[in-house]
Structure 1
């Protein structure tokens, strides 16, 4: 997914395993930084914000 396709409030799913998150974790986009190298801030559940690069995310369709 490209950063330009991601907006605040969007639900996304991780497509890469991480030491802190299993692959397929769903979270809500909080901040999309202007610099693509700065990543995207996402909140997973009630946890803290995590910063993930856009290539590690896929959109979650809303019902």
Structure 2
């Protein structure tokens, strides 16, 4: 699933796009997202919005 951030961070500007890699069973543990070719980042689910798939 593709997502976009809905917050600004020093490492990640608002609206950054990524793909969900792992959804943890405990909601407090967050969701692992891969942004571009970078490492996984753990984000809380309320900091993400669905992103539309790019048109081919």
Q: TM-score surpassing 0.5?
A: yes
Q: Which runs of 5+ in 2 are unaligned?
A: none
Paired position in structure 2 for 1:11 = 2
Q: Please give the TM-score of this superposition, normalised by the length of structure 2.
A: 0.91
- Pairs aligned (count): 54
Candidates 42, 52, 55, aligned match of 1:61: 52
Unaligned runs of 5+ in 1: 1-9
With normalisation by structure 1, the TM-score equals: 0.82
Structure 1 residue runs of 4 or more that deviate by more than 6 Å after TM superposition: none
